Amino acid sequence: MTMSRAMPASLVLAILALLVLSPMAGLLHLSALPGYEAVDPRFWENAYLRRVVFFSLWQALLSTLLSVLPAILVARAFAMQPQLPLRRLLLGLFALPLVVPAVVVVMAVVSVYGSNGWLPLGRSLYGINGILLAHVFFNLPLAVRLLLPQWQAIPQHHWQLGEQLGMNTWQRFRFIEWPMLRESVPGVSLLIFMLCLTSFAVVLTLGGGPRSTTVEVAIYQSLRFDFDPAQAVVLALLQLGLCMLVAMLTLKLQRMPAVEIALSIAYRHRALRLRWFDLGIILLATLYVGMPLTSLLIDALRGPLGQTLGDLRLWQALANTLFIGLSAALLSVTAGWFLLQYSASLAEQGHSRRARLVDLAGSIVYVVPPLVIGTGMFVLLAPHVDVFDWVYPIVIAINALMGLPFVIRCLGPAMRQNHARYHRLCQALALRGWHRFRHLEWPLLRRPLGLAIALVAVLAMGDLGVIALFGSTQSATLALMIYQQLGAYLVAQASVTAVLLLLLCLGVFALLERCIGGSRDAKN
């Protein structure tokens, strides 16, 4: 059985290696050629490079602090208010930024904080301010969703003891909540730091020129605007080094909560003034997350709807978006399925270290940012083919790769559990292949499978990294089209396109999750 699982998994691993290692090898090879100064130790004397690296780290650090610190307050407020009316709906709103494309968030931020917005920041929006506003919009809700279940893990008896021992709010936090939080805050912070460090669309659109450029965006600018592959190679290697450093730290400190999280908590006593404090915190966070999307929606409804929707290029872009998103999701889930099947059977046989390595291989994109892979492919393929003709396979493959960690995280625990519980029974009943899938795996795994496909599809549909590198007017997706409209100062049209992309992502997410995952009430 393990052999039959090893074959497809090995094929997936080989393709992964090809996709990741060959561009890397290409970059490294190029960096050794004359004129490419990646190996020149004096490259650090380049003021531009220093500034870009410093800004990348600085904005990631500020974004992390501004996301995680308030998220602790918001998650605590939610945890302390289990009976809050509309709690489920509000937590649903906090899940929204996970599926909203970055470029839509940019439009939403511009809609509120731009010159004509409700809280205008004027020109100072472009630069660090705008980047922070958008990053916090994404990551504050993510941190809340990751931290909230930590309160669930506190034994009910600890709350009761705290109450009986007469602990005040500070003492409860110190003795009961902080010991739990300090286990998970470093992992959550590093994850958010990494996301902000590799953030592309937000910095590309809201960054204000060379002063507010990150390494990720500088790579893109080197290739698309400066036509300087040498600088792109240096930057790509720098970004790789930074990401590997953060990834190693994350691995060391990580204690992340599982994806399947329970969001309810049983706790009652809370002084009235503290309840008002909790409600105030929740209200502020809800406004922060809800206001930009509402404002964007209003802008789009007031915008040139007919003119924008009548443009044939918009529908071509919509078709491209769907094609890329669905293809990447299918590819990613298929690859992830084979990897996880193999790692589950390895784990069941006691080879847990090897099983973990297989899982880690699937999450390689955490360490090697997709734009670095894209850059490597660009410099490898450019001398031989017109890379813009290869846009679909390249963009689909890299997006599928970007989705793999999500597939592994969503599907992995359920698949391992399934394997551990039923593998021997299946062997005894000679249940394998299609019959095993039909009677066992599909009914038990369709929920996480649906979630994984839906997540990868919307991620790929909203991606503005790889498509910006390889895309053209003909192959543009909606995300790229928004970027092009913004570049041409067609902000009103961009708002309409952004809302269309938002609705498309939400629709596709709901449809895939419902159709594949089945009804929420279904007892599998």
Partner 1 sequence: MLKIEALEFSYPSVPASTMHFDLTVDVGEVLSLIGPSGSGKSTLLSLIAGFLPASGGRILVDDEPLHNLPVAERPVSIVFQQHNLFPHLDLYTNVALGIEPSLRLAPIQVEAVRGALARLGLEPMQRRKPGELSGGQRQRVALARALVRQRKILLLDEAFAALGPALRAELIELVKTLVAEHDMCALLVSHQPSDASIASARSAFICEGRVAAIAATAQLLAQSEPPQLRDYLGSG
Which residues of this protein are in contact with partner 1, per CB under 8 A?
155-158, 160-168, 171, 175-176, 179, 269
Cβ closest to partner 1, residue 164 vs residue 519: 164
CB of 382 to partner 1, least distance (A): 56
Query: Which DSSP state fits 114?
Result: S
Q: Is 307 left (phi over 0), alpha (psi -120 to 50) or beta?
A: alpha
Query: Which DSSP state fits 9?
Result: H
CB of 84 to partner 1, least distance (A): 17
Alpha carbon distance 482, 356 (integer Å): 40
Cβ closest to partner 1, residue 51 vs residue 158: 158
Query: Which DSSP state fits 385?
Result: S
CB of 160 to partner 1, least distance (A): 5
CB of 322 to partner 1, least distance (A): 46
CB of 80 to partner 1, least distance (A): 16
Q: Which residues of 458-494 are buried (b: 16+ CB within 10 A; e: fewer)?
A: bbbbbbbbbbbbbbeeebbbbbbbbbbbbeeebbbbb
Query: Which DSSP state fits 96?
Result: G
Cβ closest to partner 1, residue 253 vs residue 506: 253
Taking CA atoms, 101 is separated from 156, 196, 448, 500, 507, in Å, by: 38, 14, 21, 11, 13
Burial class (CB in 10 A: 0-12, 13-18, 19+), 520: exposed
CB of 264 to partner 1, least distance (A): 14
Cβ closest to partner 1, residue 48 vs residue 178: 178
Alpha carbon distance 293, 110 (integer Å): 10
CB of 171 to partner 1, least distance (A): 4
CB of 183 to partner 1, least distance (A): 10
Six-digit token pair at 463?
Answer: 């991606």
Cβ closest to partner 1, residue 50 vs residue 269: 269
Cβ closest to partner 1, residue 175 vs residue 437: 175
Cβ closest to partner 1, residue 267 vs residue 422: 267
Burial class (CB in 10 A: 0-12, 13-18, 19+), 79: buried
What residue type is assigned to position 194 of the chain? M
Cβ closest to partner 1, residue 172 vs residue 439: 172
CB of 223 to partner 1, least distance (A): 50
Cβ closest to partner 1, residue 1 vs residue 165: 165
Question: Residue by residue, what is the 3-state secondary structure of 235-257?
Answer: HHHHHHHHHHHHHHHHHHHCCCC
What residue type is assigned to position 346 of the chain? L
CB of 276 to partner 1, least distance (A): 19
Q: Which residues contact 302 (CB under 8 A, 6 or more apart)?
A: none
Number of C-beta neighbours around residue 176 at 10 A: 17
CB of 180 to partner 1, least distance (A): 9
CB 31 within 8 A of CB 234: yes
153 — phi, psi (to 5°)?
A: -75, -10
CB of 157 to partner 1, least distance (A): 4
Cβ closest to partner 1, residue 124 vs residue 171: 171
CB of 161 to partner 1, least distance (A): 7
Q: Is 40 left (phi over 0), alpha (psi -120 to 50) or beta?
A: beta
CA-atom Rg of the chain in angstroms: 24
Alpha carbon distance 110, 122 (integer Å): 10
* Residue at token pair 């790929």: 460
Among the listed residues 323, 393, 344, the one whose alpha carbon sits nearest the alpha carbon of residue 15: 393
* Residue at token pair 């010991």: 179
Residue 193: helix, strand or coil by DSSP? helix
Alpha carbon distance 240, 245 (integer Å): 9
